[in-house]
Amino acid sequence: MDISDVVEYLKQVKLETEKLPDVVVADGPGREDGTRNELQDDGKTAKQFNRLRHIDKEYERLDSGFRLTDAELEYFRALKKSVAAHGIQSSLADSYLWKYASQFGDAEAPPEQEPSSDLDVTSDDSSDVQLDEEDAAGQKEESESENGVWNKMFQSNPPSVYELCKTGVHFGAIYECLHTIGDRICESPGQQIPEVLLKWLFVILLMLDDLHAMSESVSYELQRIRRAILRRCTIIKGSVDSTQCPNELASSYLLSSIIAMHFNQN
* Dihedral (Cα; 225, 227, 228, 233), 10-degree rounding: 120
Q: What is the pLDDT of residue 106?
A: 61
What span, in angstroms and rounded, lies between the C-alpha atoms of 23 and 163?
A: 71
What span, in angstroms and rounded, lies between the C-alpha atoms of 142 and 19?
A: 75
User: CB of 161 within 8 A of CB of 82?
Assistant: no
Q: What is the pLDDT of residue 56?
A: 52
Q: What per-residue string of b and e applies to 45-64 under the rule 16 or more CB within 10 Å gives b? A: eeeeeeeeeeeeeebeebbe
User: CB of 169 within 8 A of CB of 211?
Assistant: no
Terminus-to-terminus CA distance in the chain, angstroms? 73
β partners of residue 88:
169
Q: What is the pLDDT of residue 94?
A: 94
Query: pLDDT in tens for each of the 266 residues of the chain?
Result: 556 665 666 666 666 666 655 544 444 455 455 444 554 555 666 655 555 555 555 555 556 567 889 999 999 999 999 999 999 999 999 999 999 999 987 656 555 543 333 334 333 444 444 444 444 444 444 455 567 899 999 999 999 999 999 999 999 999 999 999 999 999 888 888 999 999 999 999 999 999 999 999 999 999 999 999 998 888 887 775 656 677 888 899 999 999 999 999 87
What span, in angstroms and rounded, lies between the C-alpha atoms of 26 and 145?
A: 59
Query: Looking at this protein, which amino acid is placed at residue 55?
Result: I
By 3-state DSSP, what share of the chain in percent is helix, strand and coil, each rounded to 5? 60, 0, 35
Q: What is the pLDDT of residue 146?
A: 62
Q: What is the pLDDT of residue 256?
A: 93
**Contacts of the segment 141-146: beta carbons below 8 A, 24+ positions apart:** 142/107, 142/110, 145/105, 145/107, 146/107, 146/110, 146/176
Q: What is the CA radius of gyration of the chain?
A: 29
3-state secondary structure of 114: coil
CA atoms within 13 A on the CB side of 211: 3
Question: For the whole model, what pTM was predicted?
Answer: 0.66
